[in-house]
Amino acid sequence: MPRGRGGTGRRTRTGEAAPGRVPVADARPPLGGRGALPADGRPRTVAPSPPRCQEHRMSELNYPEQGGTRRTPLPPGYRHLHEELPIGRGRAALAAAGEAITTFRMHRAAGTGVRADAPRAAPGVRVEVAPGIGPLRLRAPCTVVWTADEEDRVGFGYGTREGHPVCGEEAFLAELRADGSVWFTVTAFSRPAGTLTRLAGPLLPVFQRRYVRHLGRTLRRLTPPR
C-alpha cells in the first residue's frame, strides 16, 4: 500500500488525521503500548489503496505506444485508419451516441460479440470483441486505455492484448461540431500479429474500413433524430 508524505498511521501535532487519509477503527482495546488507540480515543488512519489491477492490466497490452490514438501524428510503423461518419444533430444525439459507444451497445447492435468485465468503458476494463459470423468470428481481446467524457466529445480507446489478430489501438468517439452536427469518428493504428492477418495482407484494411462503416450505420440507427 503506497505511503503518503506523513507515512501510514502518522498524525499531526494537533492529533488530527493526516490529510487525505481514511479513518479505520482498531479492533484491539486501548491497553496502551504499540498499536493502541491514542489518548483522544480517535482511530488510526491508513492511506487509501490505488485502483485495483489497473497498472497490471495496462502491462498486458502487446504494443508500446499506449494512448497513441489520442495524439497526432499516429505512431509510425503501423497501418493508420481514420473514418468520420455523420450520425445526427444536437446534444441529444451526442448523448445517445456517447452512451451507445461507451456501454458497448453499438458493437452488440452491429452483431459483434462482446464480453467485458464492466458495463461501461473505463481505463483498465478488459473487453473481448468477436467480429464475424459463426466459425469465422475472430477472438479479439483488448483493454480500455483511455476514455473521453467531455462537453462535445464522448468515447474511448482500447488497445490489443496477446491473442488479438492485430496489435495496436482503436478509438471510437461521438463528436458534436460547431454547426450542430454529430459525427462518429474512428481512429486506429495496427499491424498484423497472427498468421491469418499476415496472409490477409492488403485485404485487412479493406475489412477494417467496411466494419467501421457498418458500426457507423448502426450508431446512426441508435441515435434519435433531432
- The reply to whether CATH 1.10.10.10 applies to domain 55-222 is no
Q: What is the pLDDT of residues 86-114, one digit of tens each?
A: 999 999 999 999 999 999 999 999 999 99
Q: What is the pLDDT of residues 59-95, one digit of tens each?
A: 889 999 999 999 999 999 999 999 999 999 999 999 9
Predicted confidence band of residue 1 (pLDDT cuts 50, 70, 90): very low
Express as a percent the part of the chain with pLDDT over 90: 58
* pLDDT score, position 51: 53
**Structural domain boundaries of the chain?**
1-50, 55-222
* pLDDT score, position 6: 44
Does 15 score more than 80 pLDDT?
no
Q: Mean pLDDT of all residues in the chain?
A: 80
* pLDDT score, position 113: 92
Among 5-9, 50-54, 120-124, 165-169, the range scoring the smallest mean pLDDT is: 5-9
Does 47 score more than 90 pLDDT?
no
SS (H, E, C) the chain: CCCCCCCCCCECCCCCECCCCEECCCCCCCCCCCCCCCCCCCCCEECCCCCCCHHHHHCCECCCCCCHHHCCCCCCCCEEEEEEEEEEEHHHHHHHHHHHHHCCHHHHHCCCEEEECCCCCCCCCEEEEECCCHHHCCCEEEEEEEEEECCCEEEEEEEEECCCCEEEEEEEEEEECCCCEEEEEEEEEEEECCHHHHHHCCHHHHHHHHHHHHHHHHHHHHCCCC
